[in-house]
Structure 1
Amino acid sequence: MSLKIERGLFKFDFIDYHAVLCVPVDADSKEIRKRYLKIARRLHPDSCASASVEEKQLASELLSKLVNPAYEKLSQDKSRTEYMVVLSQMGKRLVQESASVDLSSEPARQLAAVPNVEQLYRSAIAKISETQYDNLSQAVKIIAYVSELNLVYLMRTAGKKFASASASAPPATSTPKTKTNTGQTAENTEATSSQHTTNKEDANVAQYLRRAQELMLKNQFAQARIELQDAIKLAPNNSRCHSAIGVVYLKQNQITMAKVHFDRALQLDPNDKEASEGKRKIEQFLGQKSGTTKPTASSSTGTKPADKSGGGGLFGGLFGGKKK
């Protein structure tokens, strides 16, 4: 059986290790290890004792040629960070080049069309992972499906609007302008209802942000991240949500994911100060790590630069100070 995959990110000469393990593209090391161990147990020779010779051979090939290399790449912080940078750049490049993407799976087409991309993406990945390697003869095909989901998700978060999104929407119907008891037309009533829904969503997002603020002040960044992920599910185009979760990722030393969300925040709002400052700190950090940062005035005089990673300074403005 051929292990060659030509759909999703694989189509662009890129090995989609996340698809092989069926984990979200922003999965952390613990989630990746947990998923790998589950797959490895499934494909281990002892688990295939009652299988046919062909199935045992296929299980061995899947484990040695796809699963083990994927885990090796994603389990190490350095290699995963480098890989995530390339992955993020690929999503942006495909959007900028207006690449034509042919989606062959129904889940990928649905993901291209829905407004709440985060929620459907994660639920689809979780659902597929339950049975990904149950039928070994279908494993490569399923990896291709997952890679299509990853491709759509990366492009959607980079600003891509698929034609299928508008095409799948139900056609607008003409609503008769019948007078209501209050003198409003039915059309105006619908507009008012829509406004109420928007206001309710804004209020919910504000609650998520407020809870995240309280958690960050207590250094409970994992819980704050969950709150902000829920906020992004509700308002995927809210720049403040993206800049806030970028701060959380930065606090957790997940530089790549922090940069992804800072970039998204600036794409939505070029004047987002928190995202701009976050990107500046990341660039400074990467420069220091590579040894290319120029000496600053404080370093030349022997004085210690002020620490701006705490509640004040760098990110203090996000959860403190005057509200805009």
Structure 2
Amino acid sequence: MSLKIDRGFFKYDVTDNHAILCVSLDASVKEIRKRYLEIARRLHPDSTAFTSTEEKNLASELLSKFVNPAYESLSTERSRTEQVIVLSHMGKSLRQESHSVEVNGELAKQLVIASNIDFFYKTAISKLGEHQYKNIQQSAKIISQISELNLVYLMRNGSNVSTVPGSSGVVQSKTATASTTPPPPPPPVKQDSAADQYIRRAQNFIQQNQFSQAKVELQDALRLEPKNSRCHSLVALVYLKQNQLKMAKIHFDNALKLNPKDEIALTWKPKIEKALGQQSSGSQVTSPPHDGTNQPDKSGGGGMFGGLFGGNKK
């Protein structure tokens, strides 16, 4: 059986790890780990309750190709935050072209018109999670439905999901009731800017940790729209991923000049300034060995941050 997931964020070539694990967009790392262990016990060959060879093979494929990579991408607070930021930017981009976004799942369609967006979203996620990996033949379909819910939520909520777990981004309220106020009209249709396609491709590359390719797309976007604050912020994020703190700071500065409320820049610029300040004062930040050649800017490549994000550059 082929595992085909082509709805929600997956339709736009963005892997929705929250949907694979069926956790809400504001789930904490602790909640994510608990959910992962539940799924792993159900799918692992040594503990699965599935009996047929086909079901066992499918369970193993889901675990190795989807569930394990999804947990790896969400297992730390930093990586979880990065995932939410990428999805939020994608939701904001698609909100501007909502006329072309197709929704197929019944729950996602209901979320489009729901009065209490947060309560409906969390309730729907909880219901789908109960069945996500019980009938293994339906798992891919349910992942698609959850990703559609995430996409609609971010589009309706202005892609304003807090990266701090348990904060006001997504709020569950058991006592919430439906409002009699009719839902707000859909936002006016806004045409793609010249840079939007480049930015979407770059976001996908960032999601896949392919930072060199993302940088190429974003540099092309900046040539078209040099005053695009979101583009500057994403370029800075890529430089940050590649441990080039000085270049990251330059682009975060540009992003904040154009948009003082830019979430990525506000999150990371103070940390970069702190790291650069420690380097200039010579406090316990080691530099890579110098071989006498002109090295690219690798500020923050060791010591306290280990490159802020850790991992290898790509």
Q: Normalised by the shorter chain, which TM-score bucket? A: 0.5 to 0.7
Aligned to 2:37: 37
The alpha carbon displacement at 1:290 in A equals 2.6
The alpha carbon displacement at 1:284 in A equals 5.0
Aligned to 1:66: 66
**Structure 2 residue 271 is the aligned partner of structure 1 residue 289:** yes
| Deviation sequence 1:261-298 (CA, Å, 0-9, x none) | xxxxxxxxxxxxxxxxx958974551132349998xxx
d(CA) in 1 for partners of 2:159, 2:55: 42
The alpha carbon displacement at 1:54 in A equals 1.0
d(CA) in 2 for partners of 1:102, 1:131: 24
**Structure 2 residue 23 is the aligned partner of structure 1 residue 23:** yes
Structure number with higher relative contact order (C-alpha < 8 Å, ≥ 6 residues apart): 2
Whether the 8 Å contact between 1:40 and 1:63 is mirrored in structure 2 is yes
The alpha carbon displacement at 1:50 in A equals 5.6
The alpha carbon displacement at 1:38 in A equals 0.4
Whether the 8 Å contact between 2:18 and 2:25 is mirrored in structure 1 is yes
d(CA) in 1 for partners of 2:91, 2:130: 27
Distance change (3 Å), C-alpha of 1:40 and 1:292: same
| 3-state secondary structure, aligned to 2:4 | coil
| 3-state secondary structure, aligned to 1:121 | helix
TM-score by length of 1: 0.53
Aligned to 1:213: none
TM-score by length of 2: 0.55
Which runs of 5 or more structure 1 residues have no equivalent in the other structure?
A: 161-220, 238-277, 301-324
The aligned amino acid for 1:229 is V
Give the superposed CA RMSD: 3.7
Distance change (3 Å), C-alpha of 1:83 and 1:284: closer
| 3-state secondary structure, aligned to 1:229 | coil
| 3-state secondary structure, aligned to 1:140 | helix
Whether the 8 Å contact between 1:287 and 1:293 is mirrored in structure 2 is no
The alpha carbon displacement at 1:69 in A equals 0.5
d(CA) in 2 for partners of 1:140, 1:281: 32
The alpha carbon displacement at 1:98 in A equals 3.3
Percent identity between the two aligned chains:
53
Q: Report which of the two has the higher share of helix.
A: 1
- 1:254-293 to structure 2, matched below 5 A, reads 279=261, 283=265, 286-291=268-273
| Deviation sequence 1:118-174 (CA, Å, 0-9, x none) | 0010001001111110000111011111111111101010189xxxxxxxxxxxxxx
The aligned amino acid for 1:63 is L
d(CA) in 1 for partners of 2:38, 2:90: 29
- Count residues with an aligned counterpart: 196
Distance change (3 Å), C-alpha of 1:4 and 1:50: closer
The aligned amino acid for 2:135 is N
Aligned to 1:191: none
Distance change (3 Å), C-alpha of 1:2 and 1:286: same
The alpha carbon displacement at 1:27 in A equals 0.8
**Structure 2 residue 171 is the aligned partner of structure 1 residue 229:** yes
d(CA) in 2 for partners of 1:45, 1:230: 35
Aligned to 1:313: none
| Deviation sequence 1:177-202 (CA, Å, 0-9, x none) | xxxxxxxxxxxxxxxxxxxxxxxxxx
Distance change (3 Å), C-alpha of 1:26 and 1:159: closer
d(CA) in 1 for partners of 2:263, 2:120: 32
Whether the 8 Å contact between 1:284 and 1:293 is mirrored in structure 2 is no
Distance change (3 Å), C-alpha of 1:55 and 1:230: closer
Larger radius of gyration, structure 1 or 2? 1
